[in-house]
Structure formats: structure tokens, C-alpha cells
A and B are shown apart, each in its own frame.
Chain A
Amino acid sequence: MTRPSLRAVAAAATRFIGLCLILAALLPCWEALRALDRRDLVSALFAACVAWIVVQAGVELLRPGSAE
């Protein structure tokens, strides 16, 4: 049985962080919908932008070729 190389472990860890970031985007999404519920459109827009950027950061870590 071969031991995984440090590079492969780093790639797996990077992708795991990417998945966690996509899941973490749920929090600003919830904030955006709560602000929309209060009719606070500016706050909702900012929270939605934060959610989108966090998802993009997660996707960036999940792209093929990262940390490989």
C-alpha cells in the first residue's frame, strides 16, 4: 500500500476547504433573505454579494489543477 504524497494530501485539503466555503455561503444567504424579509434591500444586496464571492472562492479551490 502506497502512502499518499504530501502534494496529494494538500490537494485534498484544498478541495475540502473549497467544499466548506460553498457550504459556508449558506450563512450570508440566510442573512440576505432575512434582510429581504425586513425589506432592507441594501443590506440584502450586500449579503447576497458576500455569498456569491464566498462561493466563487470555494469554486476557485475546487478547480482542476489547484495545488497539483
Chain B
Amino acid sequence: MTISVAMTVNGKSVSGKVEARTLLVQFLREHLGMTGTHVGCDTSQCGACVVHVDGKSVKSCTILAVQADGAKVTTIEGLAESADKLHPMQEAFREHHALQCGFCTPGMVMSAIDMVKRHNYQLDEATVRRELEGNLCRCTGYHNIVKAILAAAPAMKSAGV
């Protein structure tokens, strides 16, 4: 049995028929072909699949597609204004070499943006490290991710995003 779902993904209206068990991340990757959001585990711990649902960061492997029916979803593909103008968080990740293999990166960036906003653009190193507990990276040792997020917070504030 399939169920119809409709939502807004990166500003565009999308719809599809899914099984009840279809996860939001499966809907994004397999139905919409938006493969920027990654799956790195099966226990909702790695954070590679983080997207924003109605403005809040959510592990898209922990919710069903039908639970996102009617929601506004933002994925890594929807962050940059254009190829030349990245979101300040994306720019900070590049500037500080906060990614190596790139697999955890989409989830890291999405979590980090939500983190900055929840802390009203004011973060310190200890807070960033604690807040990253839901995102695993095996390449960077987190050092440069922490630096990038600390640098992005004021940049996001001045850019008004």
C-alpha cells in the first residue's frame, strides 16, 4: 500500500507515493534523486542525514516521509544562493578545511547552521564541541570543523542568514 505525500523541498513543491515505512531520507534520495543527504548508519547516530524540517535540524533517517507531509524541508542542495555564492557556513567549511572525504559534510553543515541559530550566533569552542555530539566525522578529527563553525557564526549574523 502506498501513501501520497507532498512537501516543499528547497523551496519547490514536491509530491510522491511512498510506503508507510519510507523514511524521509529515502524519499529525498530515492524518490527525488537528491543524493546530497547521506546515510552513514542505521541507528540515528552519525548525523550524515541531517536536514532542516520547518527550520529545525532533524536526522532524516529518524522520521518517516509521511511525518514530513506538508513540511518545509531544506537540504544541503538548497543552501547556496548560487554556485558562486555559498552559505556562510559552507564558505567557512571550505576556508578552514573542515571536510576531507565529504561524506559527513552535508549533515555537519546542516547541524552547524541550526546550532548557530539556536545559540543566537554566539558560540564558544566548548559549546560547539558539545553540540556536535550527534555528528560523527572520521577524517578531520573535528578540529577544523569546530574552527569553521566558530568563524561562521558572526559571518551568518552579518549576512542575516
User: Are A and B subunits of one complex?
Assistant: no
Q: Which residues of A contact B (CB under 8 A)?
A: none
